[in-house]
Amino acid sequence: MDLEIKGHVAVVTGGARGLGAQICMALAEEGAHVVVWDRDHAAGELAAAIRANGGSASAVSADVTHSSLVNETVSSIVQERGSIEILVNCAGFSRDGAITEMSDEQWHDVIAVNLHGTFYVTRAVTRVMKAKGYGRIVNVSSRARTGDNFKANYAAAKEGVVGLTMALAIELGKSGITVNAVAPGFCETERTRGLPYFKDLKSRALEKTPTARLGNERDIADGVLYLVGRRSGYITGEVLTIAGGRWR
């Protein structure tokens, strides 16, 4: 199916690695110009790889937790590319811990990147989309938003992302902008394989997932692709859980 996004400018935060990188590559395959947004040189490396593979991509480096820097970065993207039609808020990370041992830093860092960063970037990009009268925003939440072991900070942030998604869907619908979320389940990635408790997580996930397999980054990217297409214009305020049927 033609998503009708060829030539669209797609900004993906947290785009240099893992799920974000897969989303960037998938968007480039569909003909979008992808702006890989991350905090370090890896964004440039991925953009170069996309171009070497025949796609169109550029890179920006900025911390999504600093609102003034976010505003400057979005302005520079628009100055260079002319518009932004697609935003995927994928920047995020977890710092797990029991609630009795969780530090203020663990709490604030996770909330800052996953929730505040999503707000800052969305606010800046929405100004551009409203002027154009068109936009597709997809926020990456998580199945863990409903709760998981030692993830009080992460669950709070990702449920906050869902609330933000639903509120903005109502607010921005008349401006031609859709706002949806995807909620990945546990996926086997380079990052998760490096966790000291990966084997336990994998065993529990396989036991509780009806499809009897772990997800992968392309499973999630395919869901994002559908939601950013022109034909998805009557879908907004939704949360697409991509977890193989697992809810807990």
- CA 100, 105, 111 angle in degrees (round to 5)? 95
- Determine, yes or no, domain membership for 248: no
Mean pLDDT of the chain: 94
Strand pairing partners for 137? 87, 179
Residues 140-167 have pLDDT tens digits of: 999 989 888 899 999 999 999 999 999 9
**How many domains would you assign to the chain?**
1
- Determine, yes or no, domain membership for 69: yes
- Determine, yes or no, domain membership for 247: no
- Determine, yes or no, domain membership for 246: no
- Determine, yes or no, domain membership for 2: no
CB-count exposure of residue 175 (10 Å: 0-12, 13-18, 19+): middle
Q: Which helix (H) or strand (E) segment is 57 a member of?
A: strand 56-61
Active site residues: 154
Alpha carbons 173 and 19: distance in angstroms, whole number: 27
| Residue 168 belongs to domain with CATH number | 3.40.50.720
- Determine, yes or no, domain membership for 113: yes
Enclosing domain of residue 196: 9-241
Residues 195-206 have pLDDT tens digits of: 777 888 788 888
| pTM for this prediction | 0.96
Q: Which pLDDT band, with edges at 50, 70 and 90, does 97 fall under?
A: very high
- Determine, yes or no, domain membership for 3: no
Strand pairing partners for 140? 182
